[in-house]
Amino acid sequence: MSDDIIAKYCSPTIIGIKTGNMFTYCFENDNDRKSNIRRLNKELNCKGLKVVTLKQTDNKSLIYIFRPSRLKKDLENDTAKKLLEHFGYGSTSCGRCIARLITRIKNTDDFPHEIGLFLGYPPDDVCGFIQNKAANYKYCGFWKVYRDEYKAIETFEKYKKCTRLCRSLIAKGKSVEQLAFIC
């Protein structure tokens, strides 16, 4: 997995302005997946980042790169806690919540929309998405916005700028590890 792919999908998380990002990637085989995830964790754990596979089907993997310190804070939000409780998350510990999310992804017919909480989306917008069945939003960018569209638009612009910058630096020879800030 190239650094440019990671920068394309995860720059805001890599530089520390977002809780997490996820993307689908096709590995050659399971050994390739495991070695890439192991390598990334070795490079990025010391920078406050963690990489996990949320779902594996054939050679496609749903990869989640996140900052545990930010996720812990996000999951302690009162609205997030209520939503997690509603979907059977018995704890707000990052490890247990990610394990529950993996189970829900595997065993639920619908995609578990509470995943927005794991990506740093505002809890009110995650709730709005679920309650409105993805309709009636005020703005659509990196997520569907139900509350503060002006703040969201500002955030979306930061994410785009960050991704352009990171991909430019990767093209000039920097590594994801070099771009990752310790947060």
pLDDT per residue over 126-167, tens digit each?
999 999 999 999 999 999 999 999 999 999 999 999 999 999
Give the residue carrying structure tokens 């920068």: 7
Give all strands of the β-sheet with 20-26 in edge-to-edge order.
20-26, 60-66, 50-57
How many alpha carbons fall within 13 Å on the CB side of residue 182? 4
Query: Alpha-carbon distance 167 to 96, whole Å?
Result: 33
For 9, the enclosing helix (H) or strand (E) is: helix 3-14
- DSSP-based three-state secondary structure for 23: strand
Percent of the chain beyond pLDDT 90? 90
What tokens appear for 46 in the block? 């010391």
| CA nearest to 181, candidates 72, 70, 95, 35 | 70
Q: How far apart are CA 56 and CA 86, in angstroms?
A: 26
Structure confidence at residue 109 (pLDDT): 81
Q: Cα 149 from chain centroid?
A: 20
Q: In this structure, what are the phi and psi dihedrals at residue 69, rounded to the nearest 5 degrees? A: -65, -40
Is the pTM higher than 0.85? The answer reads yes
Query: What pLDDT, in 10s, does the model give residues 28-74?
Result: 999 999 999 999 999 999 999 999 999 998 889 999 999 999 999 99
The dihedral of CA 69, 75, 78, 79: what is its sign? positive
pLDDT at 183 over 70: no
In the chain, the percentage of residues whose pLDDT exceeds 70 is 99
Q: Residue 108 pLDDT > 90, yes or no? A: no
Collapse the DSSP code of 136 into the 3-class scheme (helix H, G, I; strand E, B; otherwise coil) and give the result: coil
Could you tell me the two tokens for 146? 């139900």
